[in-house]
Amino acid sequence: MHKSLRVILICLVVFSFAGCDQATKSLAKRDLQFSTPVTLIGGLIRLQYAENEGAFLNIGGNLPAVFRRLVAIVLTIIILGGFTLLLSFAQDFTLPRLISFSLLLAGSLGNMIDRMFHQGRVVDFLIVGTKTIHTGIFNVADLLITTSIVILFITEVFRRRAA
């Protein structure tokens, strides 16, 4: 894939999906923050507002706020910069890998924006499952990061089988 086309695709994926993440978080803050949880599809999906101070599933949430915020933002900037350079200059990226890393960037950017503008917190609002078996609370950025990892895993499995 030509470098300019690759950069356009990366930007399109990153900014559109990070924008979707921010839009859904804005709606969650507006419509769910002071309301009772909303259930959909017979309770399979629950919309419930929460603010996460830590990383994935609130890991590190008990660290001092200034340290937690600084580490989260600095690490995300390093990750964003590294993956942006990798995506921009790597010649052997397949389309699925390119999209996967772009989704990872979009999710990271979405959560970093939250941390920068919401006192180090990330807005979460989705829970999937039943009353007894369910996910932790998450957001679209988390879903993008998870989807990225799944795509990378699947493409790697197929690549190894083909080799």
Contacts 24+ apart (CB under 8 A), 127-131: 127/45, 127/46, 127/47, 127/48, 128/44, 128/45, 128/46, 129/44, 130/43, 130/44, 131/43
* 114 flagged as catalytic: no
- Which residue in 131, 132, 133 sits closest to 39, CA to CA? 131
SS3 sequence, 70-136? HHHHHHHHHHHHHHHHHHHHCCCCCHHHHHHHHHHHHHHHHHHHHHHHCCCCEEEEEEEECCCCECC
Instruction: Report the C-alpha gap between 112 and 40 in whole angstroms.
Output: 28
- Catalytic residue (one of 31, 92, 114, 142): 142
124 carries an active-site annotation: yes
Catalytic residue positions, numbered = 124, 142
